[in-house]
Chains A and B, each alone.
Chain A
Amino acid sequence: MKNTALTKTHEALGAKMVPFAGYNMPVQYEGVNIEHQTVRQGVGVFDVSHMGEFLIEGDQALNLIQKVSSNDASKLTIGKAQYSCLPNDHGGIVDDLIIYKIKDETYLLVVNASNIEKDWNWILSKNDVGAEMKNLSEDYSLLAIQGPKAIEAMQSLTSHDLAAIKFYNFVVGDFAGIENVIISATGYTGSGGFEIYCKNTEVKQVWDNVFKAGADYGIKPIGLAARDTLRLEMGYCLYGNDIDDTTSPIEAGLSWITKFTKDFTNSEALKAEKERGSERKLIAFELDERGIPRHDYDIVDANGNKIGVVTSGTMSPSLGKGIGLGYVPTVFADVNSKIYIQIRKKAIPATVVKLPFYK
């Protein structure tokens, strides 16, 4: 089991620690509901240093990235980031990721912790163009400072104007007394804020200063449990649940990051799928009655026939009702379609809705 540079800090705060993607991670501190509300209404901090970071450099860097990623990285300018995915050769997804253009011929790829080795080997196998690859995952930490008060609470820590950093833009600069920190206006909560990349040796200083600066704003540490309820209320896909090696980006609703302006892994098959329409789709649903949908519960039709599977589900802390994502045949995928979620012995009626759940 690996630790992040802040594991002892979390333990000292009384966090409940769980193994996640090979790391000993804080799942909650005070309680998932209060942590969820803290991010929705104030500001909270997640240690997500388990995430992987790869540096791709050289005159072939963009060429390699364009080959392996579904989004069009040629649109990136310095200081911009892009959500993307790595399609595999048979219609599925190796991982989803964020690509940062740090400078000309230098890109940072941020990947899921559970997929670091798989992604590295995958990209390496496609690197017949000679791009330089470095795996920085073991050296870099990542803090997500999220919530509507994040900008105001963190402004005193940097000379950069945080309010001026647009969504999916970033700056490299000073933060909390550390130089060359990536301050990125990204996140996995839908409540605004930043993600801060720094070295493991620097992250304790950053963490401590973030809590000092945020004290007047009621800043709290937030665990992985609230990270999941927050992302699910927005309908953000979680790799391993909603997308995986067997789900195509088209059926997962990721057409918006699948750009046929260039060739990439399996792009011809994905283009054909997009043109003829997917047989199934990832839908968002709300339960019409009490109950909580969970990963792997069956989705059934009015006659009780299985039509699909729930990929993510929870009791939405903001909405106070059961919400979820799951795959169903396209005929059931229209908004307002009626489906049923099999919860133990009962089929609970549910309605297909538009994302996000939380507006």
Chain B
Amino acid sequence: MNIPSELKYTKDHEWVKINDDVVTIGITDFAQSELGDIVYVEVETLDETLEAEEVFGTVEAVKTVSDLFLPVSGEIIEFNETLEDEPEKVNSDPYGEGWMIKVKCSDVSQIEGLMSADDYKSLIGG
């Protein structure tokens, strides 16, 4: 299972890439493989400011619907619109072309509360 060491993770199987106060968020390789073929990514919270743990969107596989939880508080400033037509990018390239949103953090200290790659690896029993 691919778990890049430079990223941060959540117990909800999301990854977070930090670039100053803007973070990019997607779901992990483990999450996409558990979900199976992803057929729809819905994010209707663009330009909204949400608290950490709030639902920012939904990812749908053929058989399941899963909520997407915001790892850190902030404004959702970008949605990866490629996923509207090619949601399968989340399966094929979860850490690259399958990224989901960019968030401008309102409290960068929350980033420190995220999991390291090693912690995440233990969480999924790697």
Contact = CB atoms under 8 A, between A and B. Distances in A.
B62 A32 contact: yes
A58 interface: no
Given A32-B62, A229-B62, A315 B40 contact: yes
Given A16-B36, A290-B84, A292-B40, A225 B63 contact: yes
A33 B40 CA distance: 13
Contacts of A345: 44
Contact of B60 (A28, A32, A292, A317): A292
Given A225-B63, A292-B60, A315-B62, A31 B84 contact: no
Which size bracket describes the interface of B in this complex? Answer: 10 to 19
B97 interface: no
A314 interface: yes
B34 to A, nearest CB: 9
B84 A32 contact: no
A344 interface: yes
Most chain A CB inside 10 Å of its own CB: which residue of B42, B58, B63: B63
Interface residues of A, number: 19
Given A33-B62, A315-B60, A28 B36 contact: yes
A134 to B, nearest CB: 35
Interface of B: 36-37, 39-40, 42, 44, 58, 60, 62-63, 65, 84, 88, 91
27 contacts: A16-B36, A27-B63, A28-B36, A31-B37, A31-B91, A32-B36, A32-B37, A32-B62, A33-B37, A33-B62, A33-B88, A225-B62, A228-B63, A229-B62, A291-B40, A292-B39, A292-B40, A292-B60, A292-B65, A315-B39, A315-B40, A315-B60, A317-B62, A344-B42, A344-B58, A345-B44, A346-B44
